[in-house]
Chain A
């Protein structure tokens, strides 16, 4: 095996610059992603689904989700303790604030917050949700083309036929 420390350093060197360059290029600091995504959150959580915005759920919901990663919506999403702690702290610091801090949805699903339902209710019919390219409301990236980069602006919405 190669030296772990060396490969870790190599990985970090590779990663550090392109990420920031990409963010600046897309102007993400000025619009959309006000909170720079924690690299660990992006890496771990978006391995299986889009990196949902931290502000999409109240702190209590994030706390429950992060405490129950071994039973995460039907799959084992457990992480090592250090990574779990880092992601939890970031989610707590960036969870929904203001009135939406009380908007605790059933099953801690972002798609069942009052905010999400209100934002999508009038414009998206149930037949649209059922389109093969969309499938379900949690498939943000089907319509929000900037979702993988944390951008959910209406300007970036393209609803597939």
Chain B
């Protein structure tokens, strides 16, 4: 229920992961590269956390919030059909989490890489 409700706050913009990836790739002018996405996701960027700190290095599995300990549903669309189906929600979490992990908002090419990698996971 909570995950369903999540899409409601900012105007829900239904999409598929492939559509979001196409959008980020078009914005960046380059295709998302899974290997680069995996490196970006698992490495730290000069801050305390990496993406994997909460989402694990295998995002087909559930993660755990680094501060509260609350379970985070898997990020890989193959095992969690709700992931990357709402542009506003996707943008909200990229914005916040990139600030925490990278210290700035992510660029379109970085989002494309990460999403391309997550979409390869089965």
Contact = CB atoms under 8 A, between A and B. Distances in A.
A128 interface: no
Interface in A39-68: 39-40, 42-44, 46-50
Contacts of A124: none
B24 to A, nearest CB: 13
A138 B68 CA distance: 8
Given A70-B99, A75-B100, A11 B7 contact: yes
B68 A47 contact: no
Contacts of B69: 135, 139
A73 B65 CA distance: 13
Interface residues of B, number: 28
Given A1-B14, A4-B13, A7-B12, A78 B6 contact: no
Given A19-B1, A75-B67, A4 B11 contact: yes
Contacts, number: 80
Interface residue tally of chain A, by bracket?
35 or more
B12 A43 contact: no
Contact of B96 (A11, A19, A77): A77
A19 B2 CA distance: 11
A11 B12 contact: yes
A77 B93 CA distance: 9
Q: Which of B68, B88, B100 has the most CB of A within 10 A?
A: B68
B65 A40 contact: no
B68 A76 contact: no
Given A2-B15, A11-B4, A80 B10 contact: yes
Given A2-B15, A4-B14, A75-B96, A40 B8 contact: yes
Interface in A95-133: none
A1 B14 CA distance: 7
Given A75-B96, A76-B99, A15 B4 contact: yes
B5 A43 contact: yes
Contact of A49 (B13, B70, B92): B70
B97 interface: yes
A74 interface: yes
19 contacts: A1-B14, A2-B15, A8-B11, A11-B8, A15-B5, A15-B8, A43-B2, A43-B8, A47-B2, A48-B65, A49-B70, A50-B70, A73-B67, A74-B67, A75-B100, A77-B96, A78-B95, A79-B92, A80-B10
3 nearest A-B residue pairs (beta carbon): A43-B5, A7-B14, A76-B96
